């Protein structure tokens, strides 16, 4: 038996796009903050944890997607900034 595809309304698509843009801005801002500030590695990791919590609140059940898309960017920046390479 085939699974029926759900049709999304224009309003739902716009709302999803708005949430994605908001998350991207937050990630970009957080990456810049970590790169340009004098925060400790613990503070940088706390920023990442906060961004991830926000993302999961925005997109429940999508923790794995965050880990695939954004965690490598944060990990790479933190490794470069704090000489963890």
- Rg of the chain over all Cα atoms, to the nearest angstrom: 16
CB 78 within 8 A of CB 45: yes
Assess if residue 2 is contained within a domain. no
Quote the Cα angle for 52-39-34, to 5°: 50
DSSP 40: -
Assess if residue 1 is contained within a domain. no
Q: What is the pLDDT of residues 4-49, one digit of tens each?
A: 788 999 999 999 999 999 999 999 999 999 999 999 999 999 999 9
Under the banding of pLDDT at 50, 70 and 90, the label for residue 85 is low
How many domains is the chain built from?
1
Assess if residue 55 is contained within a domain. yes
Surface-to-core class of residue 70, CB atoms within 10 Å of its CB (0-12 exposed, 13-18 middle, 19+ buried): buried
Q: The domain containing residue 64 runs over which residues? A: 10-81
Find all residues with CB under 8 Å of 23, minimum gap 6, and list them.
54, 55, 58, 59
Assess if residue 52 is contained within a domain. yes
């Amino acid at each position: 038996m085939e699974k029926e595809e759900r049709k999304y309304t224009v309003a739902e698509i716009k709302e999803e796009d708005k949430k994605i843009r908001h998350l991207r801005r937050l990630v970009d801002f957080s990456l810049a903050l970590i790169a340009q500030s004098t925060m400790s590695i613990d503070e940088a990791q706390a920023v990442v944890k906060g961004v991830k919590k926000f993302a999961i609140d925005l997109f429940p059940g999508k923790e794995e997607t965050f880990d695939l898309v954004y965690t490598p960017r944060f990990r790479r920046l933190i490794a470069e900034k704090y000489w963890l390479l």
